[in-house]
């Protein structure tokens, strides 16, 4: 009987591991609020920004706002996301140009950065578009 229990436990553990892999698949970020539940695909996200206790996700398909910590979302992000501020990630894949402390995304959305953060982010973006190592000075 104990071997049967072990087999069942192993099956349960494997099922939970599969579910966790699917949830942390880095294909999307689950956004669940009182009014809606949506899977925001990571390849459509421009930036993720913290606003007090809420996170704002700006994507090609729209803006989403929900209560969460930035650390809760980090596990869903791909390598194309860069932490340019303590509470902000930008998707380098979606950046069109960077000039004069301004990040311009491919859909025309503009995001202003402070001088020091702009310099660090631009260095990282330059390495990214050249195909070099990304995160030598990642926070």
Domain boundaries, the chain: 2-130
Cα–Cα distance for residue pair 139/82, rounded to 1 Å: 9
2-130: CATH number: 2.40.50.1020
- The more confident residue out of 25 and 5 is 25
Confidence grade of residue 56 (pLDDT, cut at 50, 70, 90): very high
Nearby residues of 136 by Cβ (< 8 Å), 6 or more positions away: 127
SS3 137: coil
- CA separation (Å) from 103 to 4, 131, 139? 58, 19, 19
Q: Looking at the predicted structure, is the pLDDT value of residue 92 above 50?
A: yes
The H or E element that residue 59 is part of is strand 54-59
């Amino acid at each position: 009987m104990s071997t049967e229990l072990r087999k069942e436990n192993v099956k349960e553990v494997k099922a939970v591991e599969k579910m966790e892999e699917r949830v942390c698949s880095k294909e999307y970020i689950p956004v669940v609020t009182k009014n809606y539940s949506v899977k925001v695909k990571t390849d459509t996200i421009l930036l993720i920004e913290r606003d007090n206790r809420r996170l704002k996700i700006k994507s090609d398909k729209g803006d989403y706002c929900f209560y969460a910590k930035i650390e809760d979302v980090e596990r869903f992000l791909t390598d194309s996301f860069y932490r340019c501020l303590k509470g902000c990630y930008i998707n380098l894949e979606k950046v069109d140009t960077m000039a004069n402390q301004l990040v311009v995304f491919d859909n025309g959305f503009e995001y202003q950065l402070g001088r020091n953060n702009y310099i660090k982010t631009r260095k990282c973006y330059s390495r990214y578009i050249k195909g070099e190592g990304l995160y030598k000075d990642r926070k």
